[in-house]
Amino acid sequence: MTEAAHEHESITAYVALGSNMGDREQYLREAIRLLDAEAGITVTGRSSIYETEPVGYVDQDAFLNMVIQIHTNLLPATLLATLLATENRLGRTRELRWGPRTIDLDLLLYGNHQLSTPDLIVPHPRMQERAFVLVPLTEVLYERQDAAFESISANLEKLEGKEGVILWKKAQ
């Protein structure tokens, strides 16, 4: 990690987690533990865990999904690299687009920043289409009751398929 990565204000960011291989809940817990142990990242909130059917490539097991809130002083590209490294540490392979995975970590929001590079788009470009992201994200944002919460909640209200996002384990 570069020194420049630490010369940044603290930002509240939101990361989606998903797993549909092996002990799915353990992969979610281990990803949170590894991220929280990283310099420059503190996990400050988490949603409940939801079970959802796969999207895209549907011939695979159901996913467990959740969202975490983090405080970070890492720049977006450094945070993305940390997320990808965490996926690799937990055995993630990319053989099939939208295929089975031990863990999937997606940066959804990075403060109020908007970013578009070849490697990273923030806010996440497809999150508004995915109930399995918006349901847990709304849950984590609920305490804030700010413009982000209002916007995400309004999009969730209009989105079809929410009934396919089943509470699997309540947040602790």
CA distances (Å), origin 62, targets 52, 58, 100, 113, 158: 6, 9, 9, 32, 24
Q: Is 104 a catalytic residue?
A: yes
Nearest one of 121, 118, 92 to 105, comparing CA atoms:
92
Q: Within 13 A of 171's CA, how many CA atoms are on the CB side?
A: 15
Partnered with residue 106 across adjacent β-strands are 16
Nearest one of 18, 14, 16, 1 to 44, comparing CA atoms:
14
Which of 24, 46, 104, 130 is catalytic? The answer is: 104
Residue with tokens 């396919």: 164
Are 107 and 83 a contacting pair, CB within 8 Å?
A: yes
Secondary structure of 88-125 in the HEC alphabet?
HHCCCCCCCCCCCCCCEEEEEEECCCCEECCCCEECCC
Q: Is 92 a catalytic residue?
A: yes
Which of 29, 59, 94, 106 is catalytic? The answer is: 106
Which of 92, 97, 119, 144 is catalytic? The answer is: 92
Active site residues: 92, 101, 104, 106
